[in-house]
């Protein structure tokens, strides 16, 4: 017959059982807390994803509204104007508009206001590359390589590049050896590595401007920045002159740019689109931004926030619109 357990032994056993039970309870509570935290995190993540998707969708719709409004203002030619401001639709001018869902801005430019990669205007291209802070030797490499990229032979210009140059790259490719088909090809040309990602090719270059000159009355923001050398006062003067006069002439261009800059650019400037039927509309949409919020942001000198952007290249032939490209994404 087993001996009876003493009271001290029973007390010790009970204490041990209670301690073990406490440990189990603590472990279970920690596990529950961890699972609850993960659940809360997952819910917050899902809500954020849903909010971002909604913001993206709204921003995209707003940007598309800017494209459609820009296209309407471009093609609409009413016999009588009920609003004086409506009459003065200016190419390259940044317009703002608001809907209940947010804010969008847009501009329309004729492709005659850009440098054509297939119709080389060497002085203007060199000025632009200088504005991009490239040294003289780097500029020569790009200009010679651009011409080698287009010609059909394998003869190197002094600072150019042909097939052997591109085949020696880590990721080799074949040069066009013909007419450039898309502005983004510029960044495939030898010597342009420093400029990749610095600007969008279609803001400066085109393949739809056979004149080789720049239409001063239809400038993208970056083209205006280039011609004015980034001078904020000159850019403001340009837009104010647009508002006041509509179409600007040679003398007004001189007053805006200043004598020295005008003399550098004047041979490459024109003041009408001629018969050019190709246009670009760029529009940005921001969900949940009203007029007060935009004004407060501008008053604080804050940069533009991320927004959905749509860019459309099209040909306007009579009343018919032929789309060539449609790009959309965050900017």
Q: What is the pTM of this model?
A: 0.83
Alpha helix positions (H), the chain: 7-75, 84-87, 122-131, 136-150, 163-167, 221-227, 232-245, 250-257, 259-265, 291-299
Residue with tokens 């009203």: 290
> pLDDT in tens for each of the 331 residues of the chain?
455 556 655 555 556 566 677 788 888 888 888 888 888 888 787 777 776 788 899 999 999 999 999 999 998 865 555 555 556 789 999 999 999 999 999 999 999 999 999 999 999 999 999 999 999 999 999 999 999 999 999 999 999 999 999 999 999 999 999 999 999 999 999 999 999 999 999 999 999 999 999 999 999 999 999 999 999 999 999 999 999 999 999 999 999 999 999 999 999 999 999 999 999 999 999 998 888 888 888 777 766 778 999 999 999 988 799 999 999 998 8
The Cα 154–Cα 164 span in angstroms is 9
The Cα 93–Cα 28 span in angstroms is 65
Helix, strand, coil percent values for the chain (each to nearest 5): 50, 15, 35
The Cα 233–Cα 250 span in angstroms is 19
DSSP state for residue 194 in the 8-state scheme: G
The Cα 50–Cα 241 span in angstroms is 45
């Amino acid at each position: 017959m087993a001996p009876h357990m003493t009271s001290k032994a029973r007390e010790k056993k009970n204490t041990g059982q209670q301690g073990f039970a406490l440990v189990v309870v603590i472990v279970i509570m920690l596990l529950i807390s961890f699972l609850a935290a993960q659940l809360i995190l997952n819910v917050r993540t899902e809500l954020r994803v849903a909010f971002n998707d909604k913001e993206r969708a709204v921003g995209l719709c707003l940007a598309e509204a800017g494209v459609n409004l820009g296209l309407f203002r471009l093609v609409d030619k009413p016999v009588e104007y009920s609003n004086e401001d409506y009459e003065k639709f200016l190419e390259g001018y940044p317009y703002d508009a608001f809907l209940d869902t947010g804010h969008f801005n847009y501009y329309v430019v004729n492709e005659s206001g850009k440098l054509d990669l297939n119709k080389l205007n060497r002085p203007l291209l060199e000025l632009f590359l200088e504005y991009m802070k490239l040294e003289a030797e780097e500029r020569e490499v790009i200009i010679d390589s651009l011409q080698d990229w287009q010609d059909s032979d394998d003869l190197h210009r002094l600072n150019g590049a042909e097939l052997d140059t591109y085949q020696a790259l880590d990721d080799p490719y074949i040069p066009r050896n013909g007419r450039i088909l898309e502005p983004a090809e510029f960044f495939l040309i030898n010597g342009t590595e420093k400029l990749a990602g610095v600007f969008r090719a279609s803001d400066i270059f085109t393949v739809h401007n056979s004149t080789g000159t720049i239409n001063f009355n239809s400038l993208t923001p970056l083209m205006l920045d280039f011609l004015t050398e980034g001078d904020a006062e000159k850019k403001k003067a340009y837009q104010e002159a647009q508002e006041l006069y509509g179409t600007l002439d040679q003398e007004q261009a001189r007053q805006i740019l200043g004598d020295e800059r005008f003399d550098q650019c004047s041979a490459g400037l024109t003041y009408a689109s001629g018969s050019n039927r190709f246009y670009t509309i760029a529009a940005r949409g921001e969900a949940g931004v009203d007029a007060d919020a935009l004004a407060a942001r501008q008053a604080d000198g804050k940069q533009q926030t991320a927004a959905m952007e749509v860019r459309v290249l099209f040909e306007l032939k009579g009343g018919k619109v032929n789309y060539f490209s449609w790009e959309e994404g965050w900017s």
